A = this chain, B = another copy of it.
């Protein structure tokens, strides 16, 4: 971090500011005084220093961060890709593009087990399904809750597919531990720091969805919350952001894929179903995600989208999903990956 002082600050004030910085934050300081400007470089771990706090110091005009405010999620300190190994060749963050498929909501035991068998046959490597559903309306279907988790576990037993499901309350951690392989943090909870703290205390992988109005840096800071609790297994998910454009449900920020891969070593997956909000958009957005370097895809598949209790418009049926997988293969190959 570099502080630019106001013009004309006398040397004794520069020294006093340096002393205050050292005492408050434990950093070393290196002042440089030119003809018109004095600046102070801070050496050491500045990730806990807030710009807005040091800019309030007397005589400080401006503070500029030259290193990112996150460490554990930062590729600079962990150059190799993080890989999360689920066994049976399912490794997220490696050469294989991992496709995780399943319905928005688990609706019954038969439904989820049927979908699981279908998507596994088509090449999906993981199963997703919602049991606790955060819904904008209190009057909408809120999910099967505990039963939904049990049905997911059945589907996992029958197919071997690792299971992802969304957790919504810190008190659910123990329950989810028994049933799922990956905790999903939904977009609306990306900055629910209590929830992040609690999933950060274990080791189960956490699929962290980007909030629809959160910046890439904020996503990485939320990953840092989880990792600073001791859990290094974070999966970043781009799922579209909120913009003025209304012809798609959200605006898929495709650039987030290469930017996240550059800034962080964590695996990056894309959810084309929520981003586009329409079944027909899943194919072009999935291809684009692979082309941009995504490590995986989250795709909504429902046995009968017309009767889905939620998000039917953006869901594929199992045979559409199988057709999609065939179309994604040559794209993955062209990028030097498999799927």
Contact = CB atoms under 8 A, between A and B. Distances in A.
B255 A251 contact: yes
- Highest count of chain B CB atoms <10 Å: which of A139, A259, A308: A139
Contacts of A61: 66
Contacts of A192: 168, 188-189, 192
Contacts of A56: 305-308, 312-313
A79 B315 CA distance: 27
A248 B139 CA distance: 26
Interface string A199-217: 0000000000001110111
What is the total number of copies of this protein in its complex?
4
Interface residues of A, number: 103
Contact of A255 (B171, B194, B275): B275
Contacts of A243: 241, 243-244, 251, 253
Interface in A191-233: 191-194, 211-213, 215-218, 221, 224-225, 228-229
A33 interface: yes
Given A254-B288, A276-B255, A312 B245 contact: no
A177 interface: no
Interface in A252-296: 252-259, 262, 275-276, 280-281, 284-285, 287-293
Summarize A's interface: helix, strand, loop or mixed.
mixed
9 contacts: A4-B66, A32-B34, A136-B218, A138-B229, A188-B191, A215-B246, A243-B244, A255-B276, A255-B284
Interface of A: 2, 4, 30-39, 41, 43, 47-48, 50, 52-53, 55-58, 61-62, 64, 66, 69-70, 134-140, 168-171, 188-189, 191-194, 211-213, 215-218, 221, 224-225, 228-229, 241-248, 251-259, 262, 275-276, 280-281, 284-285, 287-293, 305-313, 330-331, 333-335
